[in-house]
Amino acid sequence: MKRFGISTALVMTLGGLAAVVAACSGGFLGNDQFEDKTDGGLGGSSGSGGNGGTGGMACTCPTVPPCKKCDPTDCSIVEDPAQENMPCGMDQVCNGAGKCGFKNGLPCMTDDQCSGYCADEVCCATPCNEQCESCNVPGAAGQCTTADALPNGWPDNSCGETFACSNMVCALGQALGEPCEWATPLFGPCVNDKCVGGYCRLTSGQSCDDPVQCETNYCDSTTKKCAPPPAANPDACRSKEIDQGRCKADAGEPCRPGAQSFIKCKTGFTCKNGLCVGEETTSCAADYQCFDYLCDKTTKECVPCPQGMTCPTPPIPDGSYCREDTDCNTNSICTGFPQKCKSK
Instruction: List the domain boundaries for the chain.
Output: 69-160, 173-272
pLDDT of 222: 94
Residues pairing with 202 in the sheet:
214
Give me the mean pLDDT over the 26-55 stretch.
43
Helix locations, the chain, DSSP H = 8-24
pLDDT of 247: 95
Q: How far apart are CA 202 and CA 208, in angstroms?
A: 8
The 10s digit of each residue's pLDDT in 259-292 is: 556 788 999 999 998 899 999 999 999 999 999 9
Percent of the chain past pLDDT 70, that is, above it, reads 69
Give me the mean pLDDT over the 59-68 stretch.
79
41 CB-near residues (< 8 Å, 6+ apart): 52, 53, 54, 55, 56
106-118: string of b/e by CB count within 10 Å (b at 16+)?
bebeeeeebbbbb
Judged against a pLDDT cut of 60, whether residue 64 lies above it is answered with yes
Using an 8 Å Cβ cutoff, are 151 and 177 in contact? Answer: yes
pLDDT of 137: 75
Global pTM value: 0.55
The 10s digit of each residue's pLDDT in 295-341 is: 999 999 999 999 888 899 999 999 999 988 999 999 999 988 888 99
Backbone conformation region of residue 158, classed left if phi is above 0, alpha if psi is from -120 to 50, else beta: alpha
pLDDT of 123: 92
Handedness of CA 114, 115, 117, 121 (dihedral sign): negative
Percent of the chain past pLDDT 90, that is, above it, reads 33
175-203: string of b/e by CB count within 10 Å (b at 16+)?
bbbbbbebeeeeebbbbbebbbbbbbbbe
pLDDT of 159: 66
pLDDT of 184: 45
pLDDT of 227: 95
Q: Which pLDDT band, with edges at 50, 70 and 90, does 167 fall under?
A: low
pLDDT of 42: 47
Q: How many helices (H) and strands (E) does the chain have?
A: 1, 20
Q: How far apart are CA 263 and CA 237, in angstroms?
A: 12
Q: How far apart are CA 254 and CA 177, in angstroms?
A: 11
**How many CA within 13 A on the CB side of residue 326?**
3
Angle of CA points 310, 312, 315, to nearest 5°? 155
Using an 8 Å Cβ cutoff, are 155 and 124 in contact? Answer: no
